[in-house]
Amino acid sequence: MRTRKLDRLVREQAERASGPFPRLKLALIGSSTLDHLAASIRIGALRRGLFVDLYVGDYGQWRQAILDPASALYAFEPDAVLLSHEVSALVSPPSLSASDADVEATIEGVVHDLGTLWKILHERAQAVVIQQTPWQLDANLFGHMEWLLPAARCRSI
């Protein structure tokens, strides 16, 4: 709560301030709600002498924001874009009987698709693209043995 209160005060004053702090326009887009990160990012950056103007994309609309050249993301004109995804937003779980080759082909397809989206985003926004490591919400089915199964989420990540 203190961070949010401080963030609100800083944002109110930032419009009037013309201090020595550089500014960064950062866009957060991903497969989940990211609004809760905004205050902490702004205050953390301010502690390091940087004002951050944030754009937080709509829930789960990251792909649409990248593909639509008229989206609010591009209208914001970010300096950097952070992509934050849960694994299931990038790839559907393969069958538990999938082979190493099947899983590898699936992962290569996801990496290719994501790389294409990074390229589109970078070309249209002229922004640095930051990809957060995808996180897994699913519980491990086989505990520490999960790493032995080619189709296991934790192994795919």
Q: Please give the residue that has the higher pLDDT: either 52 or 148.
A: 52
Check residue 61 and give its pLDDT.
93
Q: Which residues of 79-114 are buried (b: 16+ CB within 10 A; e: fewer)?
A: bebbbbbebeebbeebeeebeeeebeebbeebeeeb
Sign of CA dihedral 108, 63, 38, 23: positive
Domains and CATH numbers, the chain: 2-156 (3.40.50.1110)
Query: What is the spatial distance between Cα 118 and Cα 10, in angstroms, rounded to a whole number?
Result: 32
As to burial, measured by CB atoms within 10 angstroms (0-12 exposed, 13-18 middle, 19+ buried), residue 42 is buried
User: What pLDDT is stored for residue 156 in this prediction?
Assistant: 67
- At residue 137, does pLDDT exceed 90? no
Beta carbons of 52 and 39 less than 8 angstroms apart: no
114 pLDDT band (50/70/90 cuts)?
very high
The predicted structure's pLDDT at residue 96? 75
Q: What is the pLDDT of residue 19?
A: 65
Give 5-35 pLDDT, tens digit per residue.
777 777 666 666 666 778 899 999 998 889 9
Calpha distance 48→115 (Å, rounded):
31
Q: Is pLDDT at 121 greater than 90 in this prediction?
A: yes
The Cα diameter of the chain in Å comes to 60
pLDDT greater at residue 82 or residue 143: 82
Query: What pLDDT, in 10s, does the model give residues 57-104?
Result: 999 899 999 999 999 999 999 999 999 987 777 777 777 788 888 888
Higher pLDDT, 107 or 116: 116
Cβ atoms of residues 38 and 56 within 8 Å:
yes
Which parts of 21-157 fold into alpha helices (H)? 38-46, 62-67, 72-76, 87-90, 100-125, 153-156
The amino acid present at 151, given as its one-letter code, is A
- pLDDT band for position 43 (50/70/90)? confident
- The per-residue pLDDT for 118 is 94
